[in-house]
Each structure stands twice: as structure tokens, then as C-alpha cells.
Structure 1
Amino acid sequence: MSRPSRLVGLRLAGAAAACMLVLVACGTGRTGSHDDRRPPAHPPVTTTTGDWRGVAEALGRTGTLSDGSVYRVPLPRTDLEVTSHGVGIEPALALGGSANFAQYHDGTMLMGDLIVTERELPRVTDALQKAGIAQTALHKHLLAQHPDVWWTHLHAMGRPVALARGVKAVLAATGTPPAPRTPATPRPLPLDTDRIDHALGAEGITAGGVHRFVFGRSGPVTDGRHLLPHTLGLSTAIAFQPLGHGRAAVNGDFVLTADETQPVIRALRRGRIDLVELHNHSQDEHPRLFFLHFWSTGDGVTLARALRPALEASAVTPAG
């Protein structure tokens, strides 16, 4: 199948993003603002997988390099058996935490999230404080879940190996299992993924028992003097888990600016898609970003069609 065309209208957002990037690089901040004079934002340094060998050794887990700059180490909770509205949740649908590292001009940035049980949460908070890693958000991604699990977001700047050691100490306060020795073999899904791709205007990836889409913000996002790529966790994610006979559970989150939140909520509700959470993941990003988590079950293609207007109401582009 040929790759579906990108979302209609989002190309314009991408063009606007290029203009915004120039403004940020020049230190003017918001479009049309002359009072918000921010310092120039620097992109992450280009690295190789070998540059992150010390991080992998300190964590005891290997990651993958995205866009030549972000080293992502997956931290799925494959040990947990979680249900939401009676649906058994695949780790790839909603239980896949990660630690993401990027090298900047002034040090290494750590951003990520961990999935923890309610019993583990106090120990995890104490371990994060001891390691000097900020806990920037705490929330849930699922409705009517059992057992109760929480998502805690992380942020720190420092030396890469020291940051990795801190994350490992935090993981020791959880039941997060060791990394698998060999990657799981992808298996075909009982879903019409071609029609789901067409409905969303993007090409999804099948892995871990789900069909998944990622959309990055069209405009630049900064944290102080750091330009943040979407691979640091600043992306809209949508995943379809098959339930049989073409039906699916759909879960994920939209990354939004404040003025996009209400149009997206209205679009989701028109498609009878439930809201789970609306919150921030970070504390000092610009523009301010909100993450809207959602949940629904039904015919997979129908759900994809219902999600399309919500995507078109936000400035994102398919990111693979």
C-alpha cells in the first residue's frame, strides 16, 4: 500500500512552524510579540548510539536513537495485568514508560515517564528526590482501571551516566522487569490497519500487539534555551488494540496548546470518545502544552474516523 497522504491542512501548520522557528531562534518568542525576548534556543547535539554506551551500561538496558539526537530507553510494565472497563491492557497500548536522553550545549537532558502502582508511588517519589530528578506530573491514563496505576513524569539536567544511575535507583523501587533478551516478533493484528491508516491520514506501525501512530508538534517547543524535539515525549500518540471482529480499544493523548484544548474536546465528544485526563507533563516549556488523554472501544475504522477531526484541530504532523 502506498503511504497515505498527510493530514489535510496540517501542511499549512508546518509552514507556519518554520516561521515560528525563525522567531524563536531570533529570541522574540511568541509570534508577533516584541516584549517576550527569550534567549536563542539550541537544538540537541547530534550523537551516535555509541555515545550513549555509558547510559546503557548504567541502566542495564539499551535504547534506540531517534533523529540522531534523542536516546530512548523503553521501560514497559510487562509485569502488570491491568484492565480498563474489562479490557486487558497490552503494555504497548498504555503501559509503556521510557527514559529519554538528549545532549545539549550545557549538559544532558532527561525527560520521560514511569508507570508505577499505587503502593510503589511513595517509594518512587522518595527515590526521585534522592536522585535529584524532578517529578513534573502525576496522573492516570486509563478509566476504571484495576489495579490502580499512575504515570509520573521526570525531568533533569546533568551528566548522562549520573542521570542513568538515578533512573536505575528509581526503577529499583518498582517492579519494572528487566529488559527482554530478544525483541518480540511482530504479529499480524485482526484489524483493518490499511483503512485505519487511510482514515487518520498517516501510516501506523504495528508492534507489541497494537497499531500505533505518532504525530509531532508542527511548531517549535522550547525549555529555557533548549529546543525540544517531539521524541522527548512531546507528541500526540494514538494506539489501537484489537478486541476481535474488527473492534478495538483506542487510547493515547493529544499534545495541545491552550487554544486547541476545547476544539479537540468537542471533536472527541462528537465521536463519542471519552476523556480521561487533561494536564501538563512539564513545568517550563514554551508554548505551554497540555496533554489530553482519551479512551474508547468500538469498530476500529469508525474510531479512526472519529479521531481525525481532533487531529485536524491541533497543529501536528505525522512523525512515524
Structure 2
Amino acid sequence: MLDQQALEATIGIGGTVIGDVLKLSAPRADLRVTVDGFEIIPFMGLTSWAAFRKGPRQTTLMGDIVLLEDEVGAAVSAAIEAGLYVTALHNHFLRDQPSVMFMHIEATADEATLGRGVRRILEAISAVRHAHPVAPALKEVASDLDNKRLEDVVGATGELKDGVFKFTLGRPDVPVICSRCGGLEINSAMGYNTWAAFQGTRERAAVCGDFAMLELEVAPVIRELRAGGIEVVAVHNHMFFEEPRVVFLHYWGVGKAADLAAVFRRALDTQKYAQTGGRCC
């Protein structure tokens, strides 16, 4: 069983237990980021997190760290020096002001080593920002969305926070294990999920998010998003040693909220089609 109190004390932030996963989140409330006139507040996709799960032998860590460009070097060095894998470094947005990057981390070791590693990364980021402060994020954004209609279109339950309405969808239909972690299953709480976050009004909303896809699902998801006018902004891995291989895709769209939700739903549906043997391309 994970020692939640010790990990929280080491890292310096509180966590939430989701099943047998301890997830610690650090919203980047110190950064004000905009895209196409929309405020990207933490719940819209600017929250660093680290998730811990006890495996057959040791504990596995997976996480995603939000970085401004001037924080990247210090954060990458801190992760590597702490013995963590940097498994991805990429964007989530286009035209974001200032430009934001996302660094994924992974490791399997004892809890104390993993906790110290995450702490070193956060301290490295804090040192950069202390030397060069920037404008903080807004606490919330104005919202005039029909959340019930969005739920009906997507076919799932969303969560409203700070003016942002978000769907987080796991993929229990496709189990993924970490071959280097003693066969530990990687679940939604550890970052293996698809999500969509909406803000704005019914007539002019923004959506951003991430698709978790098998390789044969990538082309049809991209095709459906582009057909619906949603931008594909990044395609990449998040993890190492996963079986089967999982590809992640980030997207951004602006339009009528219900229309954006319908495109998201159609892209989800293409994944089901690909799994039944439908041709992707």
C-alpha cells in the first residue's frame, strides 16, 4: 500500500486516491495563457500531475508537467538527474501566448526515490519562475454552455469547474500494461484516457483535449476531427514500455459548443469502428 502521507510531505502537495492510485496535482495558477482569445486556466489543461501505483515489486510513477519554454531545460535536467525517464516533450496548443510545453515522466522504483524526483522537478520550475515572474492565471472563466446538451451529445457525464466543462473517458475496453513494471496495468488515473474540455458560450466555444488511441485508430480520428474543423496540434507518445502501444493526439477547436461536441463524439465512434476491423486508410 502506498504511503500517501510520506509522498505528499516529500513532494509538498496534496493528493487524491483514485482506486489504488495516488494522484498529486499542481495547477499552474501562476501562468496566464491565452489561445485565440480564450483563457487557458488550469482546469482547461494547465495542471501538472504525478500518479503513483504500487506494482508487483516496486512503485510506478507517471506524470505530466506543464512548462513555459524557459523552464524546460531546468525541468528536464532535474528529471534525468533524479533517475526518471522523460518520455515525451511536446505542445498541446498552437498560437498559445506564452508558449507552453508538456513534459511526461515515468519511472519504477521505491516511493521515496520517486517522490524526491518529482519534488526536484517542481523546485527547478519554481526557481525559474521566482527569478522571472509572469502574470498569473485567471481563477475562472465566464461560461454560458448548455452542459446537459453537451453530455447528451457526448454520451458521458462531465465535470464543471471554474467555468470549464470537462469530460474524462478511460479505456477499460483496451487494457494496457507496462512491461517493465512487472506487468502493472496503466489505467485512467495514471493518464491513459481521452478528455475534452469546453469553455465559452453556446454560440462561440473552445474545446481542447487529448485522444488515447491504438495505432489503427489514429488515422480515422484525425480524419473525423479535421472534417469537423477541429485542429490537430500534436501526435505523440506519453509512455514507454506499454503494451499495446498507445498514441496520444491533442486538438483545439473553436465554434458552436454543440457542434464541437458532435465532432468529438464522431471521433470517439471511429475508434470503435477501427477495433472491429474497419479500414483506417
2:85 aligned residue: 134
Q: Alignment partner for residue 46 of structure 2, among 95, 114, 125?
A: 95
Distance 1:301 1:162 in 2: 46
Report matched runs for 1:217-296 at 5 Å: 217=171, 218-224=173-179, 225-242=183-200, 244=201, 246-296=203-253
Taking the aligned partners of 2:272 and 2:186, their CA distance within structure 1 comes to 16
Residue 112 of structure 1, CA deviation: 0.6
SS in 1 for 2:212: strand
SS in 2 for 1:132: coil
Which structure 2 residues correspond to residues 67-146 of structure 1 after superposition, within 5 A?
68-146=19-97
Q: Does 1:147 align with 2:104?
A: no
Q: In the aligned structure 2, how far is the partner of 1:286 from the partner of 1:80?
A: 35
CA distance in 2, matches of 1:264, 1:207: 27
1:83 positional shift = 1.3
Kindly report the root-mean-square deviation, in angstroms, between the aligned alpha carbons of the 2 structures.
2.0
Identify if the C-alpha distance between structure 1 residues 122 and 186 changes in structure 2 by more than 3 Å, giving closer, same or farther: closer
Unaligned runs of 5+ in 2: 130-138, 274-281
Asked if residue 306 in structure 1 is aligned to residue 258 in structure 2, the reply is no
Aligned to 2:240, what secondary structure does the other structure show?
Answer: coil
Query: Partners of 1:108 and 1:229 in 2: how far apart?
Result: 14
Question: Any conservation in 2 of the 1:90–1:209 contact (CA below 8 Å)?
Answer: no
Distance 1:115 1:109, change over 3 A: same
- Matched with 2:276 is none
Q: Which has the larger radius of gyration?
A: 1
CA–CA separation in structure 2 for the residues paired with 1:315 and 1:71: 30
Q: Is the 8 A contact 2:59 2:109 kept in 1?
A: yes
Residues 1:57 and 2:9 aligned together: yes
After TM superposition, give the deviation of residue 138 of structure 1 in Å.
0.4
Matches of 1:159 and 1:294, distance apart in 2: 35
Where in structure 1 do 4 or more consecutive aligned residues deviate above 4 Å?
185-188
**1: distance between equivalents of 2:267 and 2:215?**
14
Post-superposition Cα deviations, 1:209-249, rounded to whole Å, max 9, x if no partner, equal: 2111111122110111222112110000111012x454321
Distance 1:127 1:189 in 2: 38
Could you tell me the percent identity over the aligned residues?
37
Contact kept, 8 Å, 1:274 with 1:295, in 2: the verdict is yes
- Whether the 8 Å contact between 2:146 and 2:202 is mirrored in structure 1 is no
Could you list the runs of 5+ residues in structure 1 that have no partner in the other structure? 1-46, 178-184
Distance (Å, rounded) in 1 between the aligned partners of 2:186 and 2:51: 12
Query: Could you tell me which amino acid in structure 1 is paired with residue 159 of structure 2?
Result: I
Aligned to 2:133: none
TM-score, normalised to structure 2, is: 0.87
Do structure 1's residue 212 and structure 2's residue 166 form an aligned pair? yes
User: In the TM superposition, what is the alpha-carbon distance from 1:208 to its structure 2 partner?
Assistant: 3.2
Given that 1:239 and 1:252 are in contact with CA atoms closer than 8 Å, whether structure 2 keeps it comes out as: yes
- In structure 2, relative to structure 1, the CA distance for the partners of 1:272 and 1:285 (3 Å cut) is same
Residue type of the alignment partner of 2:149: R
Distance in 1, Cα, partners of 2:256 & 2:170: 26
Bigger relative contact order (CA 8 A; separation at least 6): 1
